């Protein structure tokens, strides 16, 4: 710490820093965090230990036991994979939603408290108001998602006489575009637009959330945009003109090194 | 049946900044204080895994559980209010430290103009300048009277800022306790651009702590590491000032303070003239308690201060039809809009690094710092650049015309991920006769109490102000020489869906006249002398600044008043 920032406590500083950081909370020291700040100097990172890459894609972990479903059936998983890959496709910049594990991320989220709207107001009456008043549905988010996937598949059958996963890329995009425009109804007044927004937001979350949630495999989402992930200090570089390209770290790294 | 507890001298409802400040000030003087907090305990230890955008920023880890209680909202009284089922426009804090945990730390003082807004507006422009229905009023206190309390808060929190007096803002008795935050490349660009245009930039006053600091209570805190996780997060270093690392340890050390977590106050008990105590329930066990007290202090967020008064039938509820009554009156918000974003094709910034209150602001278009003679609005906005740390889920700005998904979106959002800057305007919000808080007739909380109902919309005043500010932000952005600029000049109706600002104000406003205000300038209730209602609920309008600095000053003012009241009783003014 003291090596990194002039304004840090003077000599004997590591111990001082620990001490001072704990003072305000009655002597408790946040060991891991402070330790990370001291030892995990900027640009001094080792790659994550458990992230072997395959020569083909450069991104696929050898085995990821997190990648199984706790909510979707196989068909639902496949439609989600096909749709999210069109929202965030693989290109010259790097992997797309599939290689990043986005569909597994979505599956895991929908199985948990957020999928069941657990921390949201769920008392009735559920009445449709103005757009400025927000969501009014009594249907849980994870149910909306499954109905949305069915609506995608049905719209594909109707237009192309094929399931969504069998469509060409341009056809998939056409279906997603009508969904986004609200031309496809999901159920009971829920427009394709609300479902599409949910799908798009969850895709970006799966690309960029910490890998602990099942997406952003091997931090490849972060790497594409030079986002350093979980770092303890930028005090040394925040005032600098040069862009500080930094190997990312995850919360797993934070835990593992302490 | 509620368990009746032994009487206590001072009882505080809500243990955020206000509760913490009052608890520390009174308990230091040997006064016994009990603090009730409905949420859970918190310490910096809880933030070991805090650099988690999904958990804290997207899933609102530190916010109130809306399944138990929310607010209802409508734009006008002709609409039926509906509950805010999930978070959007603003976020409600909960747990020890309240919203003081998840704030950014931008710690301004409101302007001298703010505290005498009605008198000064009339003095300069005449009565006609104030449109029909706009209910601005003087605060019953002046900036000069409040100055020592501002400084007290800044000194305890260790606010970092320029050591010279900034132009066009209230005069300071002493410089900021700590030096300004680091001037980053984007701040330097903003400084150069605004100076060139003849404006008066100054470093954003910051509670993020620029250097190690020991406050007058002997609390030492480490400096900010610019990790980029402030707003919606807790600070694992204790560098960002919050109640848990500043005032609460002082109260706890005094030996005169008792903190009770999981204590959700449902009623203020009173005899029509004075409060006799409160009733609260432990949300985990369901056990109810009656806590008698000599003085009751409401220190919860704006909505619950007002809701408790209304559900407990204390004070006269505001009636928008007659314009009489006071509880619920002058609800205001923050008018954000008119920002300009510059995209740079060949320049990268360390946008992932930052701090909640790392930035620079110009005062030139805030308050009455510019001539409004030919303008169809009063007051103004703080125009600023800030480097709070752009996290990747929420920040994917692309130039106008770029698709929102697919190949082009991906390529463009990656291209500009570290290559864009925004000059923003944080606009004031004037009160109107038809903007108010009352109790919802339909929707209830988990205990069967009515939710608070917000009736609020943006007005022509706001639209004119945002259009004016948009020209200014765009001109500044142009000086910063981006490859392209995107700007927004328009302000729609207030919409509860997208996040805008957690700066809700009013409903239990302060003033010098009991017929137009709920509390006097010690935050003491006119209708119940042993009740103090403290917080942004006391703001008669909202300024073009973040409110916490002014909330902190009012809390110190109230603490002084409560100590006086305990000695002498009666009305303090």
Q: What pLDDT does residue A59 have? A: 54
Within-domain flag for A57: no
**Mean pLDDT of the A156-176 span:** 98
Taking alpha carbons only, the member of B386, B384, B408 closest to residue B396 is: B408
Q: What pLDDT does residue A256 have? A: 65
Q: Tens digit of pLDDT per residue, chain B (573 long)?
A: 899 999 999 999 999 999 999 999 999 999 999 999 999 999 999 999 999 999 999 999 999 999 999 999 999 999 999 999 999 999 999 999 999 999 999 999 999 999 999 999 999 999 999 999 999 999 999 999 999 999 999 999 999 999 999 999 999 999 999 999 999 999 999 999 999 999 999 999 999 999 999 999 999 999 999 999 999 999 999 999 999 999 999 999 999 999 999 999 999 999 999 999 999 999 999 999 999 999 999 999 999 999 999 999 999 999 999 999 999 999 999 999 999 999 999 999 999 999 999 999 999 999 999 999 999 999 999 999 999 999 999 999 999 999 999 999 999 999 999 999 999 999 999 999 999 999 999 999 999 999 999 999 999 999 999 999 999 999 999 999 999 999 989 999 999 999 999 999 999 999 999 999 999 999 999 999 999 999 999 999 999 999 999 999 999 999 999 999 999 999 999
Say how many domains are in chain B.
Answer: 1
Which domain does B497 fall in, by range? 3-568
> Inter-chain contact B86–A117, Cβ cutoff 8 Å?
yes
> Inter-chain contact B54–A118, Cβ cutoff 8 Å?
no
Structure tokens at B163: 């050591």
Dist CA B45 CA B48 (whole Å): 6
DSSP single-letter state for residue B57: I
> Inter-chain contact A233–B75, Cβ cutoff 8 Å?
no
Dist CA B164 CA B205 (whole Å): 12
> Inter-chain contact A208–B53, Cβ cutoff 8 Å?
yes
Here the CATH number for the domain that contains residue B147 is: 3.50.50.60
Contact call for residues B263 and B282 (beta carbons, < 8 A): yes
Distance from CA of A52 to the nearest CA of B (A): 24
Say how many domains are in chain A.
Answer: 1
Dist CA B466 CA B488 (whole Å): 9
Distance from CA of A55 to the nearest CA of B (A): 24
pLDDT classification of A255: cutoffs 50, 70, 90: confident
Cα B449 → chain centroid? 25
Q: What pLDDT does residue A9 have? A: 36
Which among B72, B178, B392, B451 is the top mutation candidate for probing chain A, defined by the most A β-carbons within 10 Å of its own β-carbon?
B392
Within-domain flag for B290: yes
Q: What pLDDT does residue B123 have? A: 98
pLDDT in tens, A33-66: 333 333 333 334 444 444 444 444 555 556 789 9
**CB-closest option in B219, B443, B494 to A24:** B219
In chain A, helix, strand, coil percent, each to 5?
45, 5, 50
Contact call for residues B298 and B308 (beta carbons, < 8 A): yes
**CB-closest option in B358, B410, B443 to A88:** B410
- Name the closest residue on chain A to residue B252, using Cα atoms: A26
Provide, as residue numbers in chain A, all residues whose Cβ is less than 8 Å from the Cβ of B73: 133
The answer, yes or no, to whether the previous bond of B326 is cis (omega within 30 of 0) is no
> Inter-chain contact B66–A121, Cβ cutoff 8 Å?
yes
**CB-closest option in A7, A26, A33 to B212:** A7
Vertex A16: Cα angle to A12 and A17 (nearest 5): 115
**Mean pLDDT of the A154-176 span:** 98
Within-domain flag for A59: no
Q: What pLDDT does residue B395 have? A: 96
Report chain A's mean pLDDT, rounded to a whole number. 82
Q: Is the ipTM of this complex over 0.90?
A: yes
Within-domain flag for B573: no
- Name the closest residue on chain B to residue A209, using Cα atoms: B54
Provide, as residue numbers in chain B, all residues whose Cβ is less than 8 Å from the Cβ of A9: 212, 222
pLDDT in tens, B507-530: 999 999 999 999 999 999 999 999
> Inter-chain contact A228–B358, Cβ cutoff 8 Å?
no
Provide, as residue numbers in chain B, all residues whose Cβ is less than 8 Å from the Cβ of A34: 237
- With H, G, I as helix, E, B as strand and everything else as coil, classify residue B520: coil
Dist CA B105 CA B157 (whole Å): 10
Distance from CA of B297 to the nearest CA of A (A): 25
> Inter-chain contact A225–B48, Cβ cutoff 8 Å?
no
pLDDT in tens, A72-116: 999 999 999 999 999 999 999 999 999 999 999 999 999 999 999
Residues of B with catalytic function: 503
Within-domain flag for A205: yes
- Does an H or E element contain B294, and which? strand B288-298
Dist CA B232 CA B47 (whole Å): 12
Instruction: State yes or no: pLDDT of A23 exceeds 50.
Output: no
Which domain does A219 fall in, by range? 74-223
Distance from CA of A158 to the nearest CA of B (A): 23
- With H, G, I as helix, E, B as strand and everything else as coil, classify residue A19: helix
Within-domain flag for A106: yes
Distance from CA of B374 to the nearest CA of A (A): 32
């Amino acid at each position: 710490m003291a090596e990194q920032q002039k304004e840090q406590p003077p000599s004997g500083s590591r111990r001082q820093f620990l001490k001072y950081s704990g003072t305000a909370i009655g002597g408790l020291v946040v060991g891991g965090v402070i330790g990370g700040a001291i030892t995990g100097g900027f640009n001094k990172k080792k790659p994550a230990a458990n992230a072997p890459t395959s020569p083909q894609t450069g991104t696929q972990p050898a085995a990821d036991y997190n990648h199984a479903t706790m909510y979707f059936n196989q068909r639902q998983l496949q439609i989600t994979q096909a749709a999210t890959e069109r929202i965030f496709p693989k290109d010259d910049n790097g992997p797309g939603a599939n290689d990043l594990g986005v569909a597994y991320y979505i599956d895991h989220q929908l199985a948990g408290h957020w999928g069941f709207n657990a921390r949201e107001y769920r008392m009735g009456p559920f009445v449709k108001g103005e757009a400025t008043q927000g969501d009014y549905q009594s249907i849980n988010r994870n149910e909306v998602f499954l109905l949305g996937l069915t609506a995608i598949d049905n719209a594909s059958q109707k237009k192309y006489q094929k399931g969504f996963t069998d469509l060409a890329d341009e056809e998939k995009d056409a279906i997603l575009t009508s969904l986004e425009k609200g031309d496809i109804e999901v159920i009971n007044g829920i427009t394709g637009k609300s479902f599409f927004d949910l799908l798009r937001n969850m895709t970006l979350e799966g690309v960029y959330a910490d890998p602990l949630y099942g997406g952003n495999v091997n931090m490849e989402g972060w790497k594409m945009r030079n986002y350093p992930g979980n770092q303890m200090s930028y005090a040394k570089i925040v005032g600098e003109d040069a862009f500080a390209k930094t190997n990312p770290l995850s919360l797993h790294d934070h835990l593992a090194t302490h | 049946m509620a368990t009746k507890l032994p009487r206590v001298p001072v009882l505080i409802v809500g243990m955020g900044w206000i509760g913490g400040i009052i608890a520390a000030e009174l308990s230091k003087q040997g006064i016994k204080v009990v603090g009730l907090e409905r949420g859970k305990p918190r310490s910096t230890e809880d933030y070991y895994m805090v650099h988690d955008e999904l958990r804290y920023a997207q899933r609102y880890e530190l916010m109130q559980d809306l399944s138990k209680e929310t607010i209802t909202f409508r734009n006008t009284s002709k609409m039926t209010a509906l509950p805010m089922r999930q978070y959007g426009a603003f976020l409600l804090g909960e747990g020890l430290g309240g919203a003081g945990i998840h704030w950014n730390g931008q710690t301004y003082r409101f302007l001298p103009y703010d505290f005498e807004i009605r008198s000064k507006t009339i003095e300069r422009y005449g009565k006609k300048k104030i449109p029909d229905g706009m209910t601005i009023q003087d605060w019953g206190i002046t900036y000069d009277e409040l100055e020592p309390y501002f400084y007290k808060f800044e000194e305890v929190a260790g606010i970092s800022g320029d050591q010279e007096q900034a132009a066009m803002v209230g005069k300071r008795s002493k410089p900021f306790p700590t030096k300004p935050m680091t001037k980053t490349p984007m701040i330097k660009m903003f400084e150069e651009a605004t100076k060139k245009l003849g404006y008066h930039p100054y470093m954003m006053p910051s509670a993020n702590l620029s250097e190690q600091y020991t406050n007058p209570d002997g609390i030492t805190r480490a400096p900010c590491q610019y990790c980029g996780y402030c707003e919606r997060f807790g600070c694992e270093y204790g560098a960002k000032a919050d109640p848990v690392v500043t005032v609460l340890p002082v109260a706890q050390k005094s030996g005169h303070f008792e903190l009770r977590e999981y204590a959700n106050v449902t009623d203020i008990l009173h005899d029509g003239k004075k409060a006799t105590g409160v009733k609260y329930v432990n949300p985990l066990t369901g056990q109810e308690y009656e806590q008698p007290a000599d003085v009751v202090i409401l220190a919860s967020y704006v909505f619950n201060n007002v809701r408790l008064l209304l559900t407990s039938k204390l004070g006269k509820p505001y009636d928008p039809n007659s314009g009489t009554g006071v509880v619920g009156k002058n609800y205001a918000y923050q008018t954000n809009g008119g920002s300009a974003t510059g995209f740079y094709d060949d320049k990268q910034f360390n946008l992932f690094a930052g701090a909640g209150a790392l930035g620079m602001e110009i005062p030139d278009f805030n308050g009455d710092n510019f001539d409004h003679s030919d303008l169809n609005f009063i007051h103004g906005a703080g125009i600023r650049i800030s480097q709070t740390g752009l996290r990747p889920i929420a920040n994917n700005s692309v130039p106008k015309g770029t698709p929102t998904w697919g190949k082009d979106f991906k390529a463009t959002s990656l291209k500009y991920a570290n290559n864009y800057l925004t000059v923003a305007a944080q606009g004031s919000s004037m009160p109107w006769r038809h903007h108010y808080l009352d109790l919802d007739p339909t929707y209830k909380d988990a205990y069967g109490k009515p939710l608070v109902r917000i009736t609020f919309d943006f007005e022509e005043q706001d639209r004119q102000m945002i259009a004016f500010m948009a020209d200014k932000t765009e001109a500044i952005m142009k000086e910063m020489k981006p490859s392209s600029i995107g700007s927004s000049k328009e302000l729609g109706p207030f919409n509860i869906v997208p996040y805008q600002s957690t700066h809700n104000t009013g409903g239990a406003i302060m003033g010098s006249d009991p017929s137009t205000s709920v509390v006097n300038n010690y935050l003491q209730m006119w209708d119940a002398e042993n009740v103090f209602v403290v917080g942004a609920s006391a703001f008669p309008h909202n300024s073009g600044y973040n409110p916490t600095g002014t909330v902190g000053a009012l809390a110190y003012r109230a603490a002084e008043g409560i100590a006086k009241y305990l000695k002498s009783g009666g009305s303090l003014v």
